[in-house]
A and B are shown apart, each in its own frame.
Chain A
């Protein structure tokens, strides 16, 4: 069982940072809605406040790590141009997708949407994290502000979901492979 270094980085980007961010989004939405809604008579405790602060800062870190590794590490491997006359395009995912009308839209629609919309997520969640750091429990006193932040967190979930979906499908149709090989487990020949 082995994996290439590019494949490993794609896994870290998608499954490590991206998928974890998507999972965390639902928790942030529930927490912001439940603890800080104005008709909840219980005031958030200091512990609730600290928890949400740490949670949102961690989410912001995940979002930035996901877009930075995606844009500056994996995307250059994805868009690398094959040498003239190359017939095996398996190491050049963008060119491989564009070489067939059955797969070209994965690039023209999927990657071209994903590469930009993904950046909405760190902008939105960083804003939410900073506002929660500033306001803490006092956010309960500002229902319109809390509702607007919730909308931004929903938007970040949408953006990350679209990016995640297309990332998974692109990697299924034209995986980013190459670099060194890491041997994980030595199998037995049968």
Chain B
């Protein structure tokens, strides 16, 4: 995906696009890890970072790591650049919606 475009404003949209896409990735990772921890016993056991909280501790910690790592990488790539925002926004919102849907138990139970 070629996301580079001519700068049209005084402050580039790259940092904002990086933050938005990373939030979408983090939300999707949360839903995905929740499903994986629910369906695969070995992942459920691995996600048990804290015995008090159970797999919730691993699911949320891993989702936060994915979110912050994605944000760091995207920010480094798009800092100071103008990017084509429409596809970035569509992908971020789709990932957000998928993340929300995957946390819904009846949908998670389909897998």
Contact = CB atoms under 8 A, between A and B. Distances in A.
B100 interface: yes
Interface residues of B, number: 39
A148 B92 CA distance: 9
Interface residues of A, number: 36
A134 B53 contact: no
Nearest to B50: A72
Contacts of B53: 71-72, 75-76, 79
B57 interface: yes
Contacts, number: 107
Contact of A144 (B10, B30, B85): B85
B27 A138 contact: no
B13 interface: yes
A127 B56 CA distance: 22
Contacts of A71: 53, 56-57, 60
Contacts of B19: 127, 130-131, 134
Interface in A105-140: 108-109, 112-113, 115-117, 119-120, 123-124, 126-127, 130-131, 134-135, 138
A123 B23 CA distance: 6
A130 B57 CA distance: 25
B55 to A, nearest CB: 10
A116 B63 CA distance: 11
Interface in B5-39: 9-11, 13, 15-17, 19-20, 22-23, 26-27, 30-31, 34
19 contacts: A67-B60, A72-B52, A72-B53, A79-B53, A113-B105, A116-B34, A120-B100, A123-B63, A124-B27, A124-B96, A144-B86, A145-B13, A145-B16, A145-B20, A147-B89, A148-B20, A151-B96, A152-B96, A155-B100
Interface of A: 67, 71-72, 75-76, 79, 108-109, 112-113, 115-117, 119-120, 123-124, 126-127, 130-131, 134-135, 138, 141-142, 144-145, 147-149, 151-152, 155, 158-159
Interface of B: 9-11, 13, 15-17, 19-20, 22-23, 26-27, 30-31, 34, 50, 52-54, 56-57, 59-60, 63-64, 67, 85-86, 89, 92-93, 96, 99-100, 103-106
Given A117-B103, A120-B100, 12 more contacts: A71-B57, A72-B50, A75-B56, A116-B59, A120-B27, A123-B27, A131-B19, A131-B20, A138-B10, A141-B11, A144-B85, A152-B20
